[in-house]
Amino acid sequence: MTQLTIAQLYPAELGITGDRGNVRAIEERASARGLDSTTVRAGIGEVLPQDVDIIVIGNGPLSALRGVHADLLGRTDALRAFIDAGGVLFAVGGSAELLGAGIDLTDGGALQGLGLLPYRVTRTRDRRVGYITVETPDVRVVGFEDHASEWTLTDASAAYGTVSAGRGSFARGEGRGEFVRHRNAFAGNVQGPVLPLNPGLADVLVLAAAGRRGLEVSEPVHGPFDEYAQGARAAIDRFIDDKGFKTIQL
């Protein structure tokens, strides 16, 4: 097997929505396509490996974002170089918000962002909670959203998905959008965790990483992982019209 290196950044601080599951899904999809993988975890002050192929950053509350903020800002140049070189990055929730220009908070304050992705985030008192489905150019994504933020894109071409059920993170035309893609950097608010529910999206990440390295991949071998995902997606599809989403006023 040919090996990919996966790194989970801030697993202790930013991992409240099952974000280890996103890493596990990438490992599984790499293996299904004939690629071996090794996973490292880097916390505050710890160095990422030079040969990393995929970086995963998870979700956390505002207190956790403040806790990693200075360290993450210190990684700006390295992460920009990684993205510019075609490296694969997958960020969910709070970490995704910090990758934009900044976060405007409900108390009038703000958190400086890294400016790596083309949007700015405004925290709101309208909490978006419920099942969500998103149509992207590559795959249909099913999952759960739970956030109180509105993203304003500064580059409309970076919008990766259109919401077909749920609220999403930003306006897209006359509808709503979810997920931003800039090169091979993906950011969004679909949780669950999202990748175990959507092996096809994990495949997008694995194929992008393999393509960057010029690695040959095989057709995926389907197994229990795919069966579990299919069952969960089917259950969400059955319930989504009935449950939809609800709005919570903070």
- Is 120 annotated as a binding-site member? no
Per the CB < 8 A criterion, the answer to whether 33 and 217 are in contact is yes
**DSSP letters spanning 109-164:** -EEE----SSEEEEEEEEEEEEEEEEE-SS-EEEEEEEEEEEEEES-GGGEEEEEE
**In the chain, what's the furthest Cα-to-Cα distance?**
52
- Ramachandran bin of 244, using left for φ above 0, alpha for ψ from -120 to 50, beta for the remaining angles: left
List the structure tokens of 75. 């990684």
Which residues make up each annotated binding site? 127
Which residues make up each annotated binding site for substrate? 127
